[in-house]
Structure 1
Amino acid sequence: MRLKAAVGAALALLAASCSGGGADKATDTTGIDGARIIRASGEEWLSYGRTYDEQRFSPLDQINTGNVGELGLAWYADMDTARGQEATPLVIDGKIYVTTAWSKVKAFDATTGKPLWDYDPKVPGETGVKACCDVVNRGLGAWGNMLFLGTLDGRLIALDRGTGREIWSKVTVDQDKAYTITGAPRVIDGMVIIGNGGAEFGVRGFVAAYDAATGKQLWKFYTVPDRPGANEAEYLKAAETSWKGEYWNIGGGGTVWDAMAYDPELGLLYVGVGNGSPWNQAYRSPGGGDNLYLSSIVAIRVKTGEYAWHYQTTPGETWDYTATQHIMLADLDIGGKTRKVLMQAPKNGFFYVIDRTNGEFISANNFVPVNWATGIDPKTGRPIENPAARVDRTGQPFIVSPGPLGAHNWHPMAYDAKQKLVFIPAQVTSYPYIPAAGWKPSKLGFNVGMDTASNAMPADNAVREAAKKATKGVLIAWDPVAQKERWRVTLGGPWNGGVLATAGGLVFQGNAMGNLVAYDSASGKNLWSFEAQTGVVAAPMTYSIDGQQYVAVLAGWGGAWAITAGVLSDMSGPVRNISRLLVFRLGGKAKLPAMPAADDLPLDPPGLTAAANVVQGGAQLYGRYCTVCHGDAAIQASGRGGIIPDLRYSGTLASAENWKMIVHDGALKDNGMVSFASVMSAAEADSIRQYVIARANEDKALAAKKVAMR
């Protein structure tokens, strides 16, 4: 049966000119090939960024600045996963395809919303503990008559586009390690290209290409060298001297978990490479070094998987400053000459313009306040670092801007060539980096080499309010040639949605406050807004069928900020998770159902009986093993909205035995809560319970104090 399916898939791809890239040989008009993606007119959305250049600009203009006020809901579809929704849908031949949390796939009629099929890869629940940033998925790839899905547990799966039937499945990672896949595959010349995540958990990053017809691996590109003497590729041999110590024993990091772009003329694939593992370079690479190819943009010859060039945005990074953020390609007039450029606004807060033919640095400027560097050297393209921010070298704490969630995270940008503007979903954040003393890697939890307990938000309303005041979410219109801001919109808080720009003079963005908004791309004026009933972090897209333009977005609050930022995570709300696909058109009359009743339970924890040293020990364990899912300082502000439980409200706090069954014994592993017996004793697990009880009582007292002051 597998041979029959593979042969059938190969024939389908042949009919769609799977070898083509630039050749228009398709005999099956429903098949997807490179030529169809390149010449996409706007009616369809065939790849994650619409086209290979990833500009996320649509030439459709039926919906424009003059009539966007008439935009209404055409239809909606409820998702069956109350977790973060980050996917950009694909629209092909009148059908819309979307991935949801837990790597599920759904297909609908794109005009009516009629469900057509769904697919569940049945990702084991315990995989959730390997995911740094929620059990999300960002989308699909398409080629021939197939769709391609990367699953959280590291599989690459080919589906029949018409039926959702699985054609082949390939395990792409070592599943005994904490690899995950959340990004969308790209498909080029019959090759499905996918990376992975897991740098915080001690893995070695790579990106690989697979034959679309069969799933056979075609090439594999590592982003971090193996031990000296074990590297065959010249680019990895060249990187060996930029590392110190026995880095290979702790993975090194450098995962390619999101950004990719492709230039068909140059035959180059551009990938963004992630942070080091652990963050703290003093443990990762004692003695320093640039640590190639961490935090770099790398160009790969797509046919062979060979190295072409690289540009490193943050040499020797120690702050989780990934360069996996959105990469887009454009031709810009710079100094009277048209340059083929690559643009990126990575976590470190600088906007980069790079020559995409050879990796030459052109320009960079910070688009939000930064203090880890004073600028980028115009001759070398290297950052001019602030020595005090180098906590890995000083051994002293320092509040660094931006923080580890970055000045810009995975949320896609958009580029309007007519306006000559890039629209950046940015954020202003800081973070107290505190080096961990005597750090050792662990089998579970974040392996970052930082003290993630001592920097927890204190139970102090004044400190919390000051932190909120200093933290912002912004939509920035950026001139990439002049390297300056043209306009900005300040939002309620960070973690707002990705961006879509259209020829109608519009910029669409969802936000953490629960709205989808259309702005005038020339001025930033708010022209239209829709209450989505939940935070929107995914990017909108648009398509047209029978002359009718639609705008679609997957809504559903979640992701890294929502689950880890504690008291800061609900700055814009708080908002609930109500996961839906929302589709709009001019004159749309559909209505969402009424908001469900709030479930604001009183904070009523048991009394604290444990000694202070027990609570302190629990705080250290919580910081290392629990913060990443349950929130800073045991505050999961969005947990009451259906994302991840807020432990301060847990009924198990009153029962040491029930707590042990869950935390130590793994009674809820199918829900993602695995056993932590391999890294802590039952007594240590109970000390976490005591810490959460202490935190709950502190916050109960703070709430009472607020009421008394009114």
Structure 2
Amino acid sequence: MARAGWALALALFVGACGSSTDEVSGPATEGVTDALIANSPGEEWLTYGGGHMEQRFSPLDQITDGNIGELGLAWYSDIDTARGQEATPLVHDGILYVSTAWSMVKAYNAKTGEPVWAYDPEVPRETGARACCDAVNRGVALYGDKVFVATLDGRLVALDQKSGKVAWEKMTVPDQESYTITGAPRVANGLVLIGSGGAEYKARGYLAAYDWKTGKEVWRFHTVPGNPADGFENEAMEKAAETWGGKWWELGGGGTVWDSITYDPKTGLVYFGTGNAEPWNPAAHDRGEGDSLYTGSIVAVDAATGEYRWHFQETPEDRWDYDSNAQITVADIEIDGEIRHVVMHAPKNGFFYILDAETGKFLSGEAFAPMNWADGLDENGRPNILEAARYEKSDQPFIGMPGPIGAHSWQPMSYSPQTGLMYIPSNQVIQGFLAAKDWTPNKQGWQIGIDTAPVAMPADKAIRAQMAEQFSGSLLAWDPVKQEAAWAVPHKGPWNGGTLATAGNLVFQGDAAGMFKAYDAKTGSPLWSFAAQTGVIAAPMTYAIDGEQYVAVLVGWGGVWDLTAGVLADKSGPVKNISRLLVFKLGGDVKLPDPPALGENVLDPPAFTGTEEQVALGASNFARYCAMCHGDAAVGGANVPDLRYSGAIGSKDAIKSIVIDGALRHNGMISFSKVLKPADAEAIRQYLIKRANEDKALEAS
């Protein structure tokens, strides 16, 4: 999008902030309608979660636990972007629609795989520098005759379903410095819903609704209060302000709605999850020890007006990045002999919650994963936070479990009404939280108030092996009524794919090791597997055409774990990013080409000529500004350059041209001249040289 186009879109955004429900187009009457979504028999997959209730359960039963061994590849398509692939495809009227990294959209003949059209929003690659968690996109929405996609740089775009041509485009974010969008839009009775990310970058969270025909903003609900001097938008914001301290609004406050949005036609409500408070460390910038509402919460608003109805805060006093943005599932389940209409949620913090969907009342909750930040929930569902977890009160790190990627992150879970089980892609991860001393807000980059340099992974084989033992994952079958595990399938590492449950007594999931598998939904017994040749983090879906059932999954390793985890990112085994759409059916006999060899990079760094003072400064600045893309302790992932191998570290001038002058900004490596000086860039270079030499010696030992 041209710069002039951005300026116009931002001007339109400002003008739309006072929009109301007057003169909206109303629900669609043709194409993908609310009635079609509500009554779909299962042959089509019309919404991100397979339906408004986000259960990700399919009634299709041609593929079963009895014939799953006959499942084979029907067709595949290579994807032209090698970043993390997180989207769930949608299918309508014989066409499969899928978004990919960098917010691109592709349409295929769902039966044959023949491309129909492709759309590239041309997101500037510099945008990736303010995306905490890779240049990913989780999916599109279908409604009426349109396809909706939200772009990384903050636009909501409506495309014609048949041609892929742009019908309208709307800038939704307040600025081009703090906000990005990676989530999939949802549609509620003619309103397209979308939030944003950016809770580490001075963003103020919100959920906004747009007229599906025109793109006009209809309502916007903020999740955290703004500057009291400007007045509060509503009573909910006024009450929330009482739970904050200091000048929280100067850093936005966080609470971004970057993933979970669920529309419930039965109650007329939209439920959405909110992200972390900003900064993470409540002592930084004097955020205070209050609850910081409505961060770490499920919030319910009227779908038509955006008016507040209820909230339930899962993580008060959040200081661990325990977002509540994991998928929100609605179901009717029997509790104590009574059928209850409920919201079910398994957020990062490790507790599984059941709430009354109409009122938000806490019904039950239990830990579904190991944790050491709380020792349970009280009668109202509030966590009993352990004092040791309040790390800002100590000068020692708190080794917290779960870590910031959570016991369950964005990877979708699925619920089977047949088994009554929820299938959760669960993580077991730890993180060292150390409060930064004398912290001041950054002019650029993350605003979390945490010092990550002292807890970076050392160049020590024994310590690395010991640490790796603390990280794993599982496919967890959880009984929400009993609030206990029914069974679990262990994975070698965390960050595995989302799940799909079907009436064929099957659960499908891909994993970080590069396998796509099917399990018995009742017992967890493995039944089938396929080598996807790359890590799988997205969730599969299923559809049927001409009497044949298909299962589709987008594959391609990446996301925040690959970017930031350093040596631990390969816990499940080293994998390349080979981005593809894979589609299966019974009797499929298509073969993938042989994967390229992983290869073996050889560390050959220049000799270390710096000082220990330079290394200390370089380590601190690398952790603060570089590690979120280039990895913990400078160990890079699969999709962004590993700087230990870079030829640029051999030249002081080369590093300065990149870090200070922005020579590679069009590749996404922006200038850091706002916060770093040439001497700082040289210190980072010396740190990288030392790290490369350390790991070279480690490999030789």
Note whether the superposition's TM-score is higher than 0.5. yes
Partner amino acid for 1:646?
Answer: D
3-state secondary structure, aligned to 1:660: helix
Structure 2 counterparts to residues 402-551 of structure 1, below 5 A: 402-551=402-551
**Which residue of 649, 653, 658 corresponds with 1:657?**
653
RMSD across aligned positions (CA): 1.2
Query: 1:285: how far off?
Result: 4.5
5+ residue gaps, structure 1: 3-16, 706-710
Partner of 1:322: 323
Partner of 1:384: 384
3-state secondary structure, aligned to 2:242: helix
- Whole-Å separation in 1 of the counterparts to 2:643 and 2:394: 35
**Which residue of 641, 658, 662 corresponds with 1:645?**
641
- Whole-Å separation in 1 of the counterparts to 2:233 and 2:269: 22
**Number of residue pairs the alignment of both structures matches:** 678
Structure 2 counterparts to residues 26-37 of structure 1, below 5 A: 26=29, 28=30, 31-37=31-37
8 Å CA contact retained: 1:18, 1:143: no
Structure 1 residues 184-215: Cα deviation after superposition (integer angstroms, max 9, x where no partner): 00011111000000001111111100011111
- Whole-Å separation in 2 of the counterparts to 1:545 and 1:186: 24
3-state secondary structure, aligned to 2:129: helix
8 Å CA contact retained: 1:277, 1:284: no
- Whole-Å separation in 2 of the counterparts to 1:387 and 1:370: 14
8 Å CA contact retained: 1:74, 1:584: yes
Structure 1 residues 96-122: Cα deviation after superposition (integer angstroms, max 9, x where no partner): 011010000111100111011100000
Query: 1:397: how far off?
Result: 1.6
Q: Does 1:242 align with 2:235?
A: no
3-state secondary structure, aligned to 1:142: strand
Structure 2 counterparts to residues 76-475 of structure 1, below 5 A: 76-229=76-229, 230-377=231-378, 379-475=379-475
- Whole-Å separation in 1 of the counterparts to 2:469 and 2:381: 33
8 Å CA contact retained: 1:243, 1:285: no
- Whole-Å separation in 2 of the counterparts to 1:449 and 1:582: 42
- Whole-Å separation in 2 of the counterparts to 1:96 and 1:255: 30
Partner amino acid for 2:127?
Answer: T
Structure 1 residues 420-460: Cα deviation after superposition (integer angstroms, max 9, x where no partner): 10000001011110000011111222211000111100111
3-state secondary structure, aligned to 1:277: coil
Q: 1:35 to 1:285 in 2, by over 3 A?
A: farther
- Whole-Å separation in 2 of the counterparts to 1:525 and 1:659: 52
- Whole-Å separation in 2 of the counterparts to 1:570 and 1:174: 37
Partner amino acid for 1:659?
Answer: I
Partner amino acid for 1:228?
Answer: P
Partner of 1:57: 57
- Whole-Å separation in 2 of the counterparts to 1:98 and 1:559: 17
**Which residue of 640, 648, 670 corresponds with 1:674?**
670
3-state secondary structure, aligned to 2:192: strand
Query: 1:73: how far off?
Result: 0.3
Partner of 2:26: 19
Partner of 2:12: none
Partner of 1:708: none
3-state secondary structure, aligned to 1:168: strand
Structure 1 residues 483-518: Cα deviation after superposition (integer angstroms, max 9, x where no partner): 000100001100000000000000000000001000
Partner amino acid for 2:99?
Answer: T
Partner of 2:617: 617
3-state secondary structure, aligned to 1:123: coil
8 Å CA contact retained: 2:267, 2:357: no
Q: 1:81 to 1:147 in 2, by over 3 A?
A: same
8 Å CA contact retained: 1:252, 1:284: no
Partner of 2:699: 703
- Whole-Å separation in 2 of the counterparts to 1:538 and 1:598: 22
3-state secondary structure, aligned to 2:184: coil
Partner amino acid for 1:301?
Answer: D
TM-score (norm 2): 0.96
- Whole-Å separation in 1 of the counterparts to 2:209 and 2:651: 50
- Whole-Å separation in 2 of the counterparts to 1:158 and 1:392: 45
- Whole-Å separation in 1 of the counterparts to 2:573 and 2:270: 39
Q: 1:90 to 1:286 in 2, by over 3 A?
A: closer
Query: 1:656: how far off?
Result: 1.2
Query: 1:392: how far off?
Result: 2.4
Partner of 1:7: none
Partner amino acid for 2:443?
Answer: K
Q: 1:52 to 1:284 in 2, by over 3 A?
A: farther
Structure 1 residues 345-370: Cα deviation after superposition (integer angstroms, max 9, x where no partner): 10001111111110100111111110
- Whole-Å separation in 2 of the counterparts to 1:211 and 1:284: 38
Partner amino acid for 1:19?
Answer: G
8 Å CA contact retained: 1:20, 1:35: no
8 Å CA contact retained: 2:535, 2:575: yes
- Whole-Å separation in 2 of the counterparts to 1:661 and 1:268: 52
Query: 1:227: how far off?
Result: 2.1
3-state secondary structure, aligned to 2:283: helix
Partner of 1:9: none
8 Å CA contact retained: 2:554, 2:581: yes
Q: Does 1:629 align with 2:625?
A: no
- Whole-Å separation in 1 of the counterparts to 2:114 and 2:187: 27
- Whole-Å separation in 2 of the counterparts to 1:75 and 1:651: 40
Query: 1:20: how far off?
Result: 4.2
8 Å CA contact retained: 2:25, 2:211: no
3-state secondary structure, aligned to 1:595: coil
3-state secondary structure, aligned to 1:170: strand
8 Å CA contact retained: 1:443, 1:679: yes
Structure 1 residues 645-676: Cα deviation after superposition (integer angstroms, max 9, x where no partner): 11011011111111111111111111110000
Partner of 2:15: none
Query: 1:395: how far off?
Result: 4.5
- Whole-Å separation in 2 of the counterparts to 1:285 and 1:186: 36
Structure 1 residues 236-266: Cα deviation after superposition (integer angstroms, max 9, x where no partner): 0111110111101111100000001111021
3-state secondary structure, aligned to 1:219: strand
Q: 1:538 to 1:284 in 2, by over 3 A?
A: farther
8 Å CA contact retained: 2:516, 2:529: yes
8 Å CA contact retained: 2:55, 2:330: yes
TM-score (norm 1): 0.94
- Whole-Å separation in 1 of the counterparts to 2:599 and 2:305: 55
5+ residue gaps, structure 2: 1-7, 9-23
Identity of aligned residues (%): 56
- Whole-Å separation in 2 of the counterparts to 1:495 and 1:290: 29
- Whole-Å separation in 2 of the counterparts to 1:286 and 1:260: 27
8 Å CA contact retained: 2:575, 2:598: no
- Which shifted more, 395-404 or 74-83? 395-404
8 Å CA contact retained: 1:508, 1:516: yes
Partner of 1:6: none
- Whole-Å separation in 2 of the counterparts to 1:328 and 1:284: 35
3-state secondary structure, aligned to 1:610: coil
- Whole-Å separation in 2 of the counterparts to 1:682 and 1:167: 46
8 Å CA contact retained: 1:424, 1:475: yes
8 Å CA contact retained: 1:18, 1:189: no
Partner amino acid for 1:391?
Answer: Y
